[in-house]
Amino acid sequence: MRLRTPTWGRGPLLGLLYFAAWALLLAYISPRWMFPPGLRFGALLLTRPRHWPWLIAGEWLAHFGHRSYIDPHLVRDFLVEDAPPVLIVAGCVAAMRRFGIRATMRTPEDVTRLLTAALLVGILNTLICSLLLNLFPTHAINNPMSSVLGLELLREYLGSLLVVPLMIMIVREPPGRIEWTRMILELLFILVPVLAILLLMLNSPPPLPGFARILALAPVLLLAFRNGWRGAVLSMVWINGGMMLFTRNDLRHFPATDSLLFLAVAGTGALVLGSASDALRRSGRRLSVQNARLEGANRRLDQLARQLSEVARRNLRTEEQQRRYVAAELHDELGQNLTAIQTRVKLAQTRLREAGLADVATSINDILAHMRAAVRRLLNNLRPTVLDEFGLARALEEGPIQDLLKTAGVVFDLELHGNLQDLDEDTRITVYRVVQEAATNTVRHAMAGRFSLRLRSGIHQGRRLVLMDMSDDGVGLSAGGGGSPRGGHGLQSMRDRVTALGGTLRIQITDQGTRLRVLLPAAERDS
């Protein structure tokens, strides 16, 4: 069971921890160095305002005890030099909260806002503290404040730059176990050798100390790019902490201003670069997730398309079966009845002639002949026997389509290429029906004198394809410019049949007529 600190006890606990941190910093380094300002700004930024009195009391107690220990005569300087900064920073952090500036490093915009706020807080704190020290001089002032004002501002900003992101990483946005392992290994294998080289260069004669800053920047940028802003923070703290550890005799003095300025610029760039790298990786992960979802959706769509295609194929097969059934019934029932009627009429012709009704017998025979021709055309439209008996090529060359065009006085140009006997039944029927519908539209609506069909079957990239190119020299789909497409139902029927097999249909309308191009994927004929 996880133990939780009571709400009433969190403030005193935070104040105690804060006091301990300040006591250690004041005992180890001079308060003029950069870590204490960063600790103050980060603690106030990450805690709730109701806990601030405990933090303020902890910092005041640490400063008061430190001054009392080193020089009892300087205790009165505490009120001018040590007490105001924490109150100034607390007021600035309260204003930041009202403007919506959060303690986060997730995006480059968040990093920029936070560092800009830290710079403004440092400027305000430095100006107010310098004004108080000029109005109420203390024993700690040895030089005019104007000479150290820039260094004080750099100290404030660098403290926030080094400490605040580290505190955010520990308290608000800790890395995972794998990230911790990777960063620690890279710190050991990259920064330890670099730090050793830096220390040698700093203790060497000029100009090597000047090149040390450039060398220190390279691993920081590398880790910022590889591990984001967390890698930049750890690398900066590691290098600066190591340099302070091995040069502790110089900690009571400011480094050169150009060194501090270089560290501020490099650290800011490293944090922004690290945050941008994190944002880029998050975008990449989101993109990968979206791509995976899109792939899943595409697979589902493909599956749905296959299911719809199968349903359409089954519907077409059912339609053809119904056509075959109706054709068989018409042939058997109506054909037999017409034959029986014709037989009875022949038997009754003698009686009708004797009764002076020979013209009636002739009329009945003419009507029966017309009915037989109509039934034959109807049977051919429903299910042409030539397609079942002789195949697709013979049905196109000599079947009802040829008879329809010839009767209408339309010249039929036909070119067949490839083996049409190997096509499966669905493809053969679709090809025949599409050509039949196109020829019917030409005869009924186009007022054309020529109808051309180029039919090719072959293998392309391992798949059997059928290409149909049909054209006429008629008036086009909109006869007389009236805007009413001819053969609307027929065109839709062709589209449905072609789509059911996964093919495409293209229509091109010109002044010379109409052209239809159909591409069908075909399966091998069942053996």
Given a cut of 70, whether residue 245 has pLDDT beyond it is no
pLDDT for the residue 421: 81
Contacts 24+ apart (CB under 8 A), 246-250: 246/199, 247/202, 248/29
Long-range CB contacts (within 8 A, 24+) of 327-332: 327/379, 327/382, 327/383, 330/375, 330/378, 330/379, 330/382, 331/375, 331/379
Contact yes or no for 412/406 (Cβ under 8 A): yes
- pLDDT at 254 exceeding the cut of 50: no
- In this prediction, residues 113-137 reach a mean pLDDT of 87
- Give yes or no for residue 484 having a pLDDT over 50: no
Question: How confident is the model over 437-483, as pLDDT tens digits?
Answer: 899 888 888 888 999 999 999 888 888 899 999 999 888 665 443 33
Q: Which residue has the tokens 């020829």?
A: 439
Q: Is 414 helix (H, G, I), strand (E, B) or coil?
A: strand
pLDDT of residue 524: 63
pLDDT in tens, 73-103: 566 677 778 889 999 999 999 999 998 888 8
Per-residue confidence (pLDDT) for residue 496, from 0 to 100:
85
pLDDT at 243: 67
pLDDT, tens digit (0-9, with 9 covering 90-100), for 145-186: 555 577 788 888 988 998 999 999 998 888 888 888 888 898
Q: Tell me the pLDDT band of 485, cut-offs 50, 70 and 90.
A: very low
274 versus 202: the higher-pLDDT residue is: 274
- The residue among 70, 54, 60, 63 whose CA lies nearest residue 16 is 54
Q: Which pLDDT does position 324 carry in this prediction?
A: 75
The rounded distance, in Å, linking the Cα atoms of 232 and 303 is 48
- 525, 424 Cβ separation under 8 angstroms: yes
pLDDT of res. 3: 43
Instruction: Quickly tell me which residue has 């004669």 as its tokens.
Output: 205
Q: Are 173 and 282 in contact (CB under 8 A)?
A: no
- The predicted-structure confidence for 351-402, as pLDDT tens digits, reads as follows 777 777 777 777 887 887 888 777 777 777 776 777 777 788 888 888 888 8
The correct answer on CATH 3.40.640.10 for the domain covering 390-522 is no
Q: Which of the 8 DSSP states describes residue 510?
A: E
Q: Average pLDDT for residues 410-418, to the nearest whole number? A: 91
C-alpha–C-alpha distance, residues 107 and 338, integer Å = 88
